[in-house]
Amino acid sequence: MSSEILGYVAMVSGIIAAITISGDFGRRITGWAFVIFTVSSITWVAVGLLDEEPPLVIQNAVLTVVNVVGIYRWLIRTKPAS
């Protein structure tokens, strides 16, 4: 798959995730939006590697970690008692 096609996949998945999170549709849906964000950031890492763009790789490697924390926080961890 070419980096151009991967770039469009990453862009569309990132937009979908951002809209979903900003919509505040509930805890579970927000968690799945972080899964989509993770797919997007991993895809951007692939694009950065294919196009030899270290800043894109580094930024999205960090964002992948942030997104995994979001997955843990919204899908795996139980909500703390208030």
Is residue 24 included in any domain, yes or no?
A: yes
Residue 59 neighbours by CB under 8 Å, 6+ apart: 44
Tokens 């843990």, located at residue:
72
Query: Higher confidence at residue 82 or residue 12?
Result: 12
Q: What is the mean pLDDT of residues 10-30?
A: 96
Structural domains of the chain, count = 1
Is residue 82 included in any domain, yes or no?
A: no
Rounded to whole angstroms, the Cα distance separating 43 from 16 reads 14
Looking at the whole model, is its pTM more than 0.85? yes
Between the alpha carbon of residue 7 and those of residues 32, 39, 42, 63, the distances in Å are: 21, 12, 11, 16
Is residue 81 included in any domain, yes or no?
A: no
Structure tokens at 39: 């797919």
Per the structure, the complete domain to which residue 64 belongs is given by 3-76
Is residue 17 included in any domain, yes or no?
A: yes
Query: Are the CB atoms for 9 and 43 separated by under 8 Å?
Result: yes
